[in-house]
Amino acid sequence: MLYSIFIALTDILLGLLEKIKTAFTGSGKVNILPLLSVNFIGALGYSIILPFLVYLVKDFGGNEVIYGLMGAVYPAFQLVGGPILGKWSDRVGRKKVLLISQIGTFVSWLVFIIAFFVPQTDLFKFNYSGSLVLFTLPLLVLFIARAFDGLTGGNISVANAYLSDISDKSNRKKNFGKMSSAMNLGFIIGPVISGYIAALNNGELKTVILAAIISFVAIFIIQFLLKNPKNDDNSEQKTAQQNTSTQIDISVWKIKQVPLMVALFFLIYLAFNFFYATFPIYAANILEWDSAKLGPFFAVLSGVMILVQGPGLSYLNDYFSEKQLFFVGGILLIGMFYCLTFTNVYIIYTGAILFGLGNGLMWPSFLSILATKGTKQQQGAIQALNKSRPYCAIV
């Protein structure tokens, strides 16, 4: 009797493990679980500081203007480094560039930590809206950290190009949905961890140290668990890419609908950046939230996205096209921004749910459409064009 139960439970467990393995296998040949882990860790590392970054800037002498400028530093430098890294990944391989990018992120966290130990020396000051704003040495170190991370910040665009390499029409949208879900899972867990650690003595410093450790783990995953997609191992293909490397940046602009996709990407991220840059300020100054209240908001927002991009997209994928899902997601996001004009907490959380629904439908669909443009040898450059967007949400 007990033996039969044991055998039955073992069969069930093996079946579940096989389903998990199948769920995280891209085309049936390449396991994308390491890639999902890298994106999860990257999102976790950033989201873990998101609830208190605006308060940290204020503690170091800055205000909303400094916080907005700091948000602009990363994508501004990514505008320089992103296309270079994307084109380079087309030539030398996704894994190598992804590893370099992740090392850059780890180094930027180490620089971030230094900001807690340098003296709070005033470098210069200015008046803004009748209040005195200080720019201190710790703030300068934070700017350097974010700039360096942006300069080497090709990890997401290269990861998207990698996923495009190993996906086909039958699984492309599902794979990009899994990629987004992995990132959103990081955005759920990060704020929760941050809220717990921030309550401890020197909680902000401990949180940043944890972010550095998490980033260091991602380096090992890329190096030892992530395999090159097949096109990275084709020497003839790499030779052809190197011979045309100076022409790739121009040629991708000539691909049908790529300029339109880039313009759409810019507008989407312009809206997102306004939200991510200004909502923490709005929450701190108008809603009078602290990091403990801001964390759950982002956790709910990301949780809804995971539900949509995981089981939701898997179901909807059989009934609707990418264009239809993209359109519906955009409409839901309009509703989200309207909800955030209120101060009622229930309406604001309704906006968070709409954000999760809208972005969950729209973003994987957009990436899936984008992955069909051009050849696989051009995906690094195409993805880099889209990721190197200017950050315009300066308060």
At 135-182, the pLDDT tens digits run 899 999 999 998 998 888 767 777 777 887 888 777 776 787 788 778
Task: Please report, rounded to a whole number, the percentage of residues in the chain having pLDDT higher than 90.
Answer: 11
Examine the pLDDT at 94 and tell me if it is beyond 90.
Answer: no
Q: How far apart are CA 312 and CA 360, in angstroms?
A: 9
Answer for the pair 333, 362: CB distance below 8 angstroms, yes or no: yes
Angle 184-332-290 from CA coordinates, rounded to 5°: 55
Which of 310, 12, 26, 16 is closest to 162 using CA atoms? 26
**Span 219-271, pLDDT tens digits:** 888 888 888 766 554 444 444 444 444 344 556 666 666 777 777 777 777 77
Q: Lowest mean pLDDT of 53-62, 234-243, 316-325, name the range.
A: 234-243
Give me the residue label for tokens 């179901």.
315
Amino acid at 210: L
**Span 100-130, pLDDT tens digits:** 888 998 999 999 999 999 998 988 887 776 6
Domain 31-387 has CATH 1.20.1250.20: yes
The CA-atom distances, in angstroms, between 359 and each of 8, 197, 301, 306, 354 are 41, 29, 10, 10, 8
Answer for the pair 340, 288: CB distance below 8 angstroms, yes or no: no
**Span 349-373, pLDDT tens digits:** 999 999 989 888 887 788 777 766 6
Which has more pLDDT, 106 or 310? 106
The three-class DSSP label of residue 62 is coil
pTM of the model: 0.69
Answer for the pair 221, 41: CB distance below 8 angstroms, yes or no: yes
Answer for the pair 177, 392: CB distance below 8 angstroms, yes or no: no
Angle 151-153-158 from CA coordinates, rounded to 5°: 130
Contacts of 208 (CB under 8 A, 6+ apart): 49, 109, 112, 113, 116
Quote the pLDDT of residue 386.
54
Examine the pLDDT at 381 and tell me if it is beyond 80.
Answer: no
Q: What tokens were used for 288?
A: 């009078």
- Tallying the residues shown for the chain, one arrives at 395
Which of 88, 87, 390 is closest to 253 using CA atoms? 87
The three-class DSSP label of residue 134 is strand
Examine the pLDDT at 327 and tell me if it is beyond 70.
Answer: yes
Q: How far apart are CA 79 and CA 273, in angstroms?
A: 15
Answer for the pair 207, 197: CB distance below 8 angstroms, yes or no: yes
